Amino acid sequence: ATAGQVIKCKAAVCWGPKQPLTIEEIEVAPPKRHEVRVKIVATGICRSDDHVLSGALSLKFPVILGHEAAGVVESVGEGVTKFKPGDKVIPLFVPQCRECRCCKNPESNLCYKNDIGKYEGVLLDKTSRFTCKGKPICNFISTSTFTEYTVMDEIAVAKIHDDAPLEKVCLIGCGFSTGYGSAVNIGKVKPGSTCAVFGLGGVGLSVVIGCKVAGASRIIGIDLNSDKFAKAMECGATECINPKDHNIPIHEVLAKMTDDGVDYAFEVIGNTSVMTSALQSSHFGCGKTVIVGLAPSTAVMSFDPLLILTGRILTGAVFGGWKSKDDVPKLVCDYLDKKFDLDPLITHYMPFEKINEGFELLRNGKSIRTILTF
């Protein structure tokens, strides 16, 4: 009944950094050619959304944030054949066009048609479908999910299994897949190995889950907040350490614990000095360091190149290296087959209107993932 029409609905609009989001009535235009309009059912609050609110990531305002979600197709634009109203879907902040140089490379999961780093705040046709109080509102990294309805390019949407519980699998849209894939696809963690995971938020815990599924025998969690340790152990960490409890640099602590360095180190905070610590913690000749955290726009990492010359590998990936449109539906099936659990990551459910409280919980270190439902 709403197909082809402008939908008026509620959205959390971000008018600028360092101010609360406001719940506004917005208008969502119908999907254009090769676009899909989706009713969002559940959306997680991720640290990357908060990076915009804190001012660490600069982009165009006003904007509707949110990129970790699941929903149901409301209507489709012209030329869309792979989606129909009622399909369960997950938005893809890294789209997969299947035509660009990266998409054609089986080793890469980026797509030239992504908006990360560019932050143009528009769909592929260079406009957004949102307006509020007569003003256009920008799109966020091809998705924008802090709204009852959103419009996305069809290359930025994955159709998932009908049985998927949307209020859980929304985490496959970002945090879980980013962490899990960083361990299994990018680190390629081997059975019997020793891993160090710096940062035990939702993404870090997902790295821990990935290391465990890959068969690591030691998984050392590192966090400045020791309250994060119990959950990390529940997800598969074998020991946890707090840098505040030591008066020597953390890489020296790890060297002592691991016969001179770990096989795999993961930075899951977005702090360039911790990235260097992770690199220093990895064993010479064979250690691999994976950058998972998103550093502030202007941050620069510096380290002694001898660390690399002596055989350490430094790498990274967005979205855990998954080719989004191909792999998200498979991850949802793996979840339904109980290959991994998402429950340990979910600490809070809240109605959408309480979104600012959800962000407060994240900033205070009180939550792992808060999932907002509509």
The residues assigned a catalytic role are 46, 48, 51, 67, 174
Residues in 14-73 that interact with ligand APR by CB under 6 A: 46-48, 51
Query: Rounded to 5 degrees, what are φ and ψ at 125?
Result: -85, 10
Closer CB to ligand APR, residue 200 or residue 253? Answer: 200
Q: Report, in Å, the least distance between residue 78 CB and ligand APR.
A: 35
**Which listed option, Zn ion, ligand APR, none, makes contact with residue 203 (CB within 5 to 8 Å by class)?**
ligand APR
Q: Report, in Å, the least distance between residue 365 CB and ligand APR.
A: 5
Per CB under 6 A, 321 contacts ligand APR: no
Closer CB to ligand APR, residue 11 or residue 362? Answer: 362
Contacts with 353 (C-beta within 8 Å, 6 or more apart), sequence order: 10, 23
CB 13 within 8 A of CB 135: no
Closer CB to ligand APR, residue 83 or residue 340? Answer: 340
Pairing of strands 288-291, 313-316: parallel
Closer CB to ligand APR, residue 12 or residue 345? Answer: 345
Q: Report, in Å, the least distance between residue 124 CB and ligand APR.
A: 24
Query: Rounded to 5 degrees, what are φ and ψ at 296?
Result: -55, 155
Per CB under 6 A, 320 contacts ligand APR: no
- With CB atoms as reference, the residue minimizing the distance to ligand APR is 201
Site string for ligand APR, 235-274 (x = CB under 6 A): --------x------------------------xxxx--x
Residues in 164-183 that interact with ligand APR by CB under 6 A: 175, 178
Closer CB to ligand APR, residue 2 or residue 347? Answer: 347
Q: Which residues bind ligand APR (CB under 6 A)?
A: 46-48, 51, 175, 178, 198-204, 222-225, 228, 243, 268-271, 274, 292-294, 365
